[in-house]
Amino acid sequence: MQTRISNSLLIGAILGVVVLGYVSDMASRRAGLLFTSGLVTISTLMATLALQVHPSHNMLWYFVIVRGICGFGVGGEYPPSAAAGLEESDDFKRRYRGPVFVSFTTLMATTASPILMIIYLICLKATDNNLPVTFHAIYSIATILPAIIMVLRFFMTDSTLYHHSNFKRQRKPARFYWVLVRRYWKRLFTTSLAFFLYDFINFPNSIMSSTIISSLVKDGNIQTTAIWQVILAALPIPGVIVGAWLTNSIGRRYTGMAGFAGYVVLGFIIGGTYAKLSQHIAAFVVLYGLLQAFGHMGPGATIGLISTESFPTAMRGMGYSVATAFGRTGAAVGTQCFTPLQDAAGDSATFYLLGGVAILGMIVYWFLPESGKLDLEKEDRELEEYLAGHGFVMEKKY
């Protein structure tokens, strides 16, 4: 049942990414974002009531369903928000498109992690470790936040780029999609593979970090464990800031490769010294946090950016959604690989696997497009000319 609860969020996220990627291109970014924030609000409210469902077996199945719905909403957030974020960044200051995009996407998500852990710690402390009350408090807060965001999104508008280039009125037979795939298959393949490898490493390691820290806390105190988790969650933030700066300084590809290189070096170091590190939780948290910082600096900061910049405006949501769906699939596969490996060979073996996969990540990144050099408006014009050459005239009217 624990596996079902974990996988329901992932499966929902994969479906949400694919569906909303299409919706955000064919309807509008705003419509997609309103729908997903509404869905997250409703599903989180439903999750708040999970403890009222009896018997416990029914409660767990209820939670599986609710997490699947929430996962659909959370996954669906990615394509319209990434597409809208990039287009607004380009309108704001084209030269700083990359750093602005990373600052308002990856940096915000990474900063939210320790804030959420602090809220969790405060709730634990305030309730004197009363877990049912803490559960209700956390999910109540989690219901309010997306509701506020949904209200704010009523006042947003789609970007200028999307107004000038979209498929809303385009006739779309099956051959139309084949024409798009034939032109952009290389970008789809490389970005999807890079996303798969990054999430294969990042997602299971984020899950395992809490389990490992819990095992290292001698007295098993839940508040002490939470404090170490807050520290660990905060350490990747400087990595994202450095990554945002490097996207312009050395380029998207080299920034991602540098991050994967950090994974390789620190993964093998932690794996080789795990027996000693496990006796000193502070040293382990610092090294593990540094490893996560490299990940967030490299592929964490750049893979979403490259996946959105690599596709023209009219199909940006769909292109990004395919890459992200492969990423979420990598997260599911990684979880199924890392957990049995951890059980069979110990925690140290997972870090060796991490380092090995990161080497593949560096190789894949070498073949990614240097998307920072792309002119988004030029890409849109070239798509229009390409489609016209294949019998599909884009309708200009929004």
Summarize pLDDT for 289-341 with one digit per residue, the tens: 999 999 999 999 999 999 999 999 999 999 999 999 999 999 889 888 887 88
122 pLDDT more than 70: yes
User: How far separated are the first and last CA of the chain, in Å rounded?
Assistant: 47
283 pLDDT more than 80: yes
Average pLDDT over residues 84-112: 88
210 pLDDT more than 80: no
pLDDT-derived band at 398 (thresholds 50, 70, 90) equals: very low
Q: Are 353 and 224 in contact (CB under 8 A)?
A: no
Q: What pLDDT sits at residue 376?
A: 92
Distance CA 386, CA 292 (A): 41
Average pLDDT over residues 113-141: 89
Q: Tell me the residue type at 375.
A: D
Q: Cα dihedral sign for 157, 158, 161, 162? A: negative
Please state, rounded to an integer, the average pLDDT across all residues of the chain: 90
Average pLDDT over residues 202-228: 79
Q: Are 17 and 328 in contact (CB under 8 A)?
A: yes
Helix 106-126 to helix 131-153 angle, to the nearest 10 degrees? Answer: 140
Distance CA 204, CA 140 (A): 27
> What is the tens place of the pLDDT at every residue in 50-80?
888 778 778 888 888 999 999 999 999 999 9
**CA Rg value for the chain:** 22
The CATH architecture one would assign to domain 1-156+177-368+375-388 is: Up-down Bundle (1.20)
DSSP letter at 311?
S
Q: Cα dihedral sign for 268, 269, 274, 278? A: negative
> What is the tens place of the pLDDT at every residue in 31-54?
999 999 999 999 999 988 888 877
Distance CA 197, CA 354 (A): 10
pLDDT-derived band at 29 (thresholds 50, 70, 90) equals: very high
129 compared with 188, residue with greater pLDDT: 188
pTM value?
0.91
Segments making up each domain of the chain, as ranges: 1-156+177-368+375-388
225 compared with 193, residue with greater pLDDT: 193
